[in-house]
Structure 1
């Protein structure tokens, strides 16, 4: 049964990568393979000898000795656990997307667009790469990607050029998220799990992450797409919304407030994001002086776009296909994790891979294993791989191993466009082809990943 589930995942993953060839939206195979995988687990629950308890990060070797009812209960609890963790990410994402759309409703991004006075493709590349690197550490790589691509769409007219910028934004955003405890889901997991501290994370990973962004950006600046001047989107003659700058600063400030809220309350980030969305929505409603409420909308009713709620409009414009794709792919990977397949894969790597560089506290964990985890995060997903590593390794807090895992898992996903949340969102917003990214951007991401990893191996010996 495990073999069948793995084959379902492989064929589903293949359908996702061939989205533009088979003319089927990627969310469809993601949802189908998720549903089939969990259905097969439910039907064959008595055939599995082991189970990975994701809540406790432990592998249950005695799973086969449990009764059928206990196994079904364990499966339902695991599915509910994974759904909850996935929902946290999706609700956070929906909140961030809605805030960005509210800013766009008030034409807030025109403020940044108007600040870009130069047309040099190379300068704009460095501007967006640096913004992605810094913003992702503050508001997380996912939100930073949403914000910057939204701005990019207001500046760059040619889509063929714009997707090159989007590819470098993905690399820079993932690099920036690696050195911040709230910059990436995986670093947040390690931070909450008391494996890394904020100070040590910065000391160990800032320079490697910076190189992971700078090296590919420098190489890209030498390529043809970033030579010469850019054709900028011309401003129309419509009067600028007088609240545009206010809503831009309010919206970005609300997003930046989310990690502060988390530190103060110790609540999951999505709670702070909902509070921020509520605050931004209040001002949006006040500024439009609208009496419209969502409860007044009837199915099929048309509303004058100049008078309806900006919140309702923004909610209708968020990338639901990307959100559903994220739901499918994360829960499909969760099925492999629950069966202990990912745990077994990581253990096999640990036992069979030759040693390269440092071994951590005699556990036999080599640098090559951690690097392969980074590569694996591009192919599968970094969240379950980091979750598996939490259960596998027993090193103390701020051990170099945890920081290297944070770097590898955070930046390795850039090598495939579906290997990170930032990539998935960019793929949805710009309809970037999987194979285009593989040909044009993946090698740049790989060079940056290797450069940063080499820098980490040097910095850990110093600190």
Structure 2
């Protein structure tokens, strides 16, 4: 492969990264940029490789492997997001929130309740949905701008923390699991240090919150079929864990089975034929923009692996102990989207113990919370909350770095004790 082609391909990857970081400035959707540059880079790789039959075959095999990995991730996310889209549309998520909230509550208590809800809900739903639901609740309280920003900061950190211990909660956790670096049961260990870090942050942010808040409690009508579909979602999560541990069944298969069960439940237990037809429409209302962004990013990372430029990442792990390198990768994920960063680390062939991979899972999952642009949760919150800007969020960066560091130290410590490595 020519040096000129390598330079061009690396330049396209850098251009894509800049497009993600500067999305709010250039006003071009990051999904459009990454998808175009990701597909275009593989096109160039096919056309302008050295021309030998061996290299042509290697490019073809590399692309097929890349697409197979992306397809597994895509299908899993489609199934999980379809479940959540249905339950959210039927008001069941809102019902659960209002079920545990009193009509009058102190701001300090509400902050802790918000942290707990965000942590638990983001373990089951994708980060974008969890953030949207939580931010909507906060905005309905009509708090001052300063207090709203404080709540929103907690939401971003709690949502990202909740997703690290279950494959349903965070894409990077799912990616590390699908690559065989960690197993489902050991991932659950991360919930304890992650939750502890969230509670510490809530404690630090609760200073000065002494007023009482009035909450408008509403309950949406829930039909029996909606409860059955909610039960199917929970059963899907549980059986996914059990089936993987006992039989090694891929999570994507179990979630596709769960989604198919959801469709059949709506068909046979709902007498409204019009409603039955609408059940398939929920696939169309999920965040396809996010899925297309993942597609473009993973194509770019696959291309970088193919031209062997990911070795530079490995060099950090050759110079520093994995525990320190993983911590720095988490900090780096606050500036570089954690999906391409995680994909690059997985493609680079880094050798670590399972305890160290668990530490990396926490780092890249939570580290994006250090800056508001470092995670999907932060971007969503910034787009919905007036006054939440890069600067206003950055005021809490040192506090966030502190609790991130505490959570990371606790996660690797617990993993080493339990796994003995």
**TM-score between both structures, scaled by the size of structure 1:** 0.71
Matched residue SS, 1:309: helix
Given the alignment of the two structures, is residue 274 of structure 1 paired with residue 230 of structure 2, yes or no? no
Q: Does 2:217 align with 1:250?
A: no
- Is the 1:109–1:154 Cα contact (8 Å) retained in structure 2? no
Cα 1:78–1:169 change in 2 (3 A) is farther
Q: Equivalent residue for 2:409?
A: 454
Q: Aligned-pair distance for 1:336?
A: 2.0
Aligned in 2, Cα 1:218/1:206: closer, same or farther, shift over 3 Å?
A: same
> Which of residues 81, 84, 90 is equivalent to 2:74?
90
Contact 1:30 1:329 in 2 (8 A): yes
Cα 1:77–1:260 shift into 2, 3 Å: same
Distance in 2, matches of 1:286 and 1:156, equals 39
Give ranges in structure 2 of 5+ residues lacking alignment.
none
* Displacement after TM superposition at 1:169 (Å): 3.7
Q: 2:154 aligns with which of 158, 168, 175?
A: 168
Q: Does 1:407 align with 2:390?
A: no
The one of 133, 137, 146 equivalent to 2:119 is: 133
Aligned to 2:343: 384
State the distance in 2 between where 1:331 and 1:418 align.
22
CA contact (8 A) 1:108 1:244 kept: no
Distance 1:196 1:13, change over 3 A: closer
Mapping for residues 236-315 of structure 1, pairs under 5 Å: 240-243=221-224, 246-247=227-228, 249-250=230-231, 252-257=233-238, 258-292=240-274, 309-315=277-283
- CA drift of 1:332 comes to 1.8
Say whether 1:217 aligns with 2:202.
Answer: yes
- Between the aligned partners of 1:22 and 1:372, the Cα distance in structure 2 is 29
For residue 52 of structure 1, what is the aligned residue in structure 2? none
Deviation at 1:427, TM superposition (A): 6.6
Do 1:103 and 1:247's aligned partners in 2 also have CA atoms closer than 8 Å? no
Task: Answer whether contact 1:96 1:255 (CA < 8 A) is retained.
Answer: no
Q: Distance in 2 between matches of 1:195 and 1:107?
A: 37
- Work out the CA distance in 1 between the residues paired with 2:328 and 2:361: 13
- 2:43 alignment counterpart: 39
CA RMSD of aligned residues (A): 3.9
Displacement, 1:438? 6.2
Count, aligned residues: 404
* The one of 355, 369, 374 aligned to 2:325: 369
Q: Which ranges of structure 1 fall in alignment gaps of 5 or more residues?
A: 47-66, 293-306, 356-364
After superposition, what is the alpha-carbon deviation per residue over 1:64-123, rounded to whole angstroms, capped at 9, x for unaligned? xxx622222222222222222222222222222221222234332242143122454443
Q: Cα distance, 1:190 vs. partner?
A: 5.3
Aligned in 2, Cα 1:106/1:453: closer, same or farther, shift over 3 Å?
Answer: closer
